[in-house]
Amino acid sequence: MTSGDLGGLMEAVPARDWADGLGTDALLGILHRLDHVDVLTAADHVCRSWRRAAREEPALWRRITMRGREGISRRLNRGGLACEAVRRSAGRCEAFCGEYAGDDGFLVYLSEQAPCLKSLRLISCNGVTNEGVAEAAKGLPLLEELELSLCDNVGGSEVFEVVGEVCPQLKQFRLNKKRFDVTVWVKENYVQGIATMHGLRTLQLFSNILTNTGLETILDNCPHLESLDIRHCFNVGMDETLLLKCARIKTLRLPDDPTDDYDLEVQSPIRTYVPREEYMCYSDCCYNRYEDSEDSGDDSDFYGEPSRYESDLDKYEKMLPLSMRTFLR
């Protein structure tokens, strides 16, 4: 057979969907290995079989993970992506992890569409505020894990008291800050809110303004704690009283312990004195005048219209390659 004949034979073979031979379980096994941002913006455009699995199998969206770098996230409609991911779960979402994804409006949408949610992890979501967390928590009575890491606009006793009251099954709580800053004057009354989470087994307070008194309050009110991480909480001095109270805790990470296994960025603590007038303080949180949140502008109306994304959901069926603009800012 000549090369020409071979070429003609190859041209005669009809094009086929190369994934047609894969069963649904095999396809889901592949897609489960991807971040859900990749599934939304790329994977379901590979072929018909992938698209069908990505859009019609709620099991793929039972545990949603949407992580990413800040630079890329700024170009995407993060709230729209998150809402579409939750919509595809068809009410079966049990866990959501979002980095640079979501705001108050999304949280309320999540609580409406995923009443069985057990795990909520928010990282670097500056569009999320106390009001959004408190309102969403009321619709998530089964919540067992809550993380609010690097979310600069969440903090204070009142919001955590609401969480402690309406989420009685909460067992894990993470409230991590970007860095320990001795120059920030902030009240420690967020501790009173955490102290209402009586069922906690795991607590992580990385780089928080925490004192011995605050830590004692938490230990006295959370008798079931098995794991406590207070690394980079340099206002805590482990005296005999605290060591005795911590004796029952199986896993204890102290302020000066290594951070090799910490899964977020670790920044050096700030210890240099800065005049008080250089800071603007609101409630329990203090912000430097020149460090405005990137999400503090137009995104503020998302909470006022928690279901605004629903009217645009038909657009989500026309994404990449050409209609990627649905999710572009």
Decide which of 110, 127, 154 is a domain's last residue: 154
253-261 long-range CB contacts below 8 Å, 24 or more apart? 253/228, 253/229, 254/230, 255/230, 255/231, 256/231, 257/231, 259/231, 259/232
129 and 183 together in one domain: no
Residue 32, in any domain of the structure: yes
Is the whole model's pTM more than 0.95, yes or no? no
CA dist 197 and 57 (Å) reads 35
100 and 220 together in one domain: no
Residue 112, in any domain of the structure: yes
CA dist 50 and 36 (Å) reads 13
Nearest alpha carbon to residue 170 among 136, 134, 194: 194
183 and 241 together in one domain: yes
Nearest alpha carbon to residue 147 among 179, 116, 171: 171
91 and 182 together in one domain: no
36 and 147 together in one domain: yes
Structural domain boundaries, residue 269: 173-290
Element (DSSP H or E) covering residue 227: strand 227-229
Residue 306, in any domain of the structure: no
Return the pLDDT at 312: 41
Q: Are 174 and 148 in contact (CB under 8 A)?
A: yes
137 and 190 together in one domain: no
267 and 206 together in one domain: yes
Q: Are 82 and 108 in contact (CB under 8 A)?
A: no
Residue 327, in any domain of the structure: no
Residue 265, in any domain of the structure: yes
CA angle 113, 118, 122 (to 5 degrees): 80
Q: What is the count of structural domains for the chain?
A: 2
Return the pLDDT at 71: 57
Residue 127, in any domain of the structure: yes
210 and 126 together in one domain: no
Residue 279, in any domain of the structure: yes
Which tokens is 269 given? Answer: 């603590």
Return the pLDDT at 176: 96
197 and 144 together in one domain: no
43 and 144 together in one domain: yes
Q: Are 201 and 172 in contact (CB under 8 A)?
A: yes
pLDDT in tens, the chain (329 residues): 554 554 554 455 455 555 555 666 676 766 777 778 777 776 767 777 777 777 778 888 999 998 876 655 566 677 788 898 999 999 999 999 999 888 899 999 999 999 999 999 999 999 999 999 999 999 999 999 999 999 999 988 999 999 999 999 999 999 999 988 876 655 666 899 999 999 999 999 999 989 999 999 999 999 999 999 999 999 999 999 999 999 999 999 999 999 999 999 888 888 654 444 443 333 333 334 333 334 444 443 333 333 344 444 443 333 333 333 344 44
The strand pairing partners of 203, in sequence order, are 173, 228
97: phi then psi, degrees, rounded to nearest 5: -125, 115
Cα Rg, the chain, nearest whole Å: 23
81 and 136 together in one domain: yes
121 and 177 together in one domain: no
Q: Which CATH number covers residue 137?
A: 3.80.10
Return the pLDDT at 4: 53
Nearest alpha carbon to residue 49 among 81, 18, 12: 18
* Chain position carrying tokens 């379901």: 44
Residue 159, in any domain of the structure: no
